[in-house]
């Protein structure tokens, strides 16, 4: 059954790094949109060309939502979002996907993201807090190449500082000389040192195909059931 097509307008389309846009869309027709944290929408970016984007905001606001778009591939999706201006119309369909925290999900979450893969995970974390689940233990590993690539870094750092049950491990694989005092290397290099048991945990992984494969193998090697590992691949 085909999903309903929604019409939205651009509230803002802000370039936050040299290659990342944060795009806020406001529902026009119909005037509201129901989704679950972690789901994605598809946007027609050219004739017969669709691109999928995870929602980075929470379902609490049924009229506005946030997309994170990496324009570095310079494909149809990149060009479409790079030219959007305030007030422009955007059509989309959705929501899609089962990359969501469910009622039977384990009480402790292991979250691993690279690049724009932080988008649905940021939505999940904020949604859980909005729903009063501040006692849920969450460990987030977030890897990027350079410091400017760490989307939502300040927000995530503040959330971890104010929520004792949230642990945030950002890491850079290609840090600038002297400008980064945090963890260095890929998330897969650090994961085994900080995760030594997986009992009572569910994992949510979002990022490149290689990262998903490597992290999945690490977690299964520690004894995590494959069914407890949810993943979303970002190309």
Write the pLDDT tens digit of every residue in 190-224.
998 888 889 999 999 999 999 999 999 999 999 99
Judge whether 54 lies within some domain: yes
Range of the domain at 52: 5-96
* CATH at 130: 3.40.50.80
Task: State mean pLDDT over 3-13.
Answer: 93
> pLDDT-based confidence at 180, cuts 50/70/90?
confident
Q: What is the DSSP letter of 63?
A: S
C-alpha torsion sign, points 179, 182, 185, 187: negative
C-alpha torsion sign, points 180, 139, 212, 49: negative
Q: What percent of the chain has pLDDT over 90?
A: 83
* Boundary-marking domain end, from 41, 72, 96: 96
- At 181 the pLDDT is 87
Number of domains in the chain: 2
- Residue in 148, 161, 8 with CA at minimum distance from that of residue 87: 8
d(Cα 159, Cα 191) in Å, to the nearest integer? 21
The greatest distance separating any two alpha carbons of the chain, rounded to the nearest whole angstrom, comes to: 54
In sequence order, which residues have a C-beta less than 8 Å from that of residue 121 and are 6 or more positions away? 38, 111, 113, 140, 204, 206
User: 75-84, 144-153, 176-185: which range is least confident on average?
Assistant: 176-185
- At 105 the pLDDT is 87
d(Cα 69, Cα 26) in Å, to the nearest integer? 17
Q: What percent of the chain has pLDDT over 70?
A: 99
> Is pLDDT larger for residue 97 or for residue 196?
97
User: Parallel, antiparallel, or unpaired: how do β-strands 64-70 and 138-144 relate?
Assistant: unpaired
- At 235 the pLDDT is 64
Write out the two tokens for 161: 């500082």
Q: What is the DSSP letter of 4?
A: P
In this structure, the answer to whether residues 89 and 116 fall within a common structural domain is: no
Judge whether 183 lies within some domain: yes
- At 1 the pLDDT is 47
Residue 111 β-bridge partners? 140, 204
3-state class (DSSP) for residue 217:
helix
pTM for this model (two decimals): 0.94
Q: How confident is the model over 20-31, as pLDDT tens digits?
A: 999 999 999 999
Judge whether 103 lies within some domain: no
In this structure, the answer to whether residues 163 and 200 fall within a common structural domain is: yes
- At 210 the pLDDT is 94
Judge whether 46 lies within some domain: yes
- At 2 the pLDDT is 59
Average pLDDT, the chain: 94
> pLDDT-based confidence at 104, cuts 50/70/90?
confident
Write out the two tokens for 162: 């104010």
- Cis, peptide link before residue 95, omega less than 30° from 0: yes
C-alpha distance from residue 44 to each of 93, 184, 207 (Å): 9, 38, 22
In this structure, the answer to whether residues 92 and 112 fall within a common structural domain is: no
Write out the two tokens for 75: 């494909």
* CATH at 48: 2.40.30.10
């Amino acid at each position: 059954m085909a999903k309903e097509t929604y019409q939205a307008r651009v509230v803002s389309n802000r370039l936050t790094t040299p290659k990342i846009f944060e795009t806020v869309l406001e529902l026009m027709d119909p005037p509201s949109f129901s989704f679950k944290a972690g789901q994605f929408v598809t946007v027609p970016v050219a004739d017969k060309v669709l691109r999928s984007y995870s929602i980075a905001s929470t379902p609490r606001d049924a009229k506005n939502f946030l997309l994170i778009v990496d324009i570095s591939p310079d494909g149809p999706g990149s060009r479409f979002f790079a030219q959007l201006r305030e007030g422009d119309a955007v059509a989309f369909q959705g929501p899609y996907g089962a990359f969501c925290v469910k009622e039977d999900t384990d009480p402790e979450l292991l979250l691993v993201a690279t690049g724009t893969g932080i988008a649905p995970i940021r939505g999940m974390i904020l949604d859980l807090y909005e729903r009063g689940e501040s006692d849920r233990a969450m460990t987030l590993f977030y890897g990027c190449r350079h410091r400017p690539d760490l989307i939502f870094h300040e927000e995530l750092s503040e959330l971890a500082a104010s929520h004792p049950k949230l642990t945030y491990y950002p890491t850079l694989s290609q840090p600038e000389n002297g400008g980064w005092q945090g963890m260095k290397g890929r998330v897969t290099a650090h994961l085994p040192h900080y995760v030594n048991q997986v009992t009572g945990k569910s994992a949510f992984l979002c990022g490149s195909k290689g990262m998903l494969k490597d992290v999945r193998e690490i977690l299964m090697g520690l004894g995590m059931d494959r069914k407890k590992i949810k993943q979303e691949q970002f190309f």
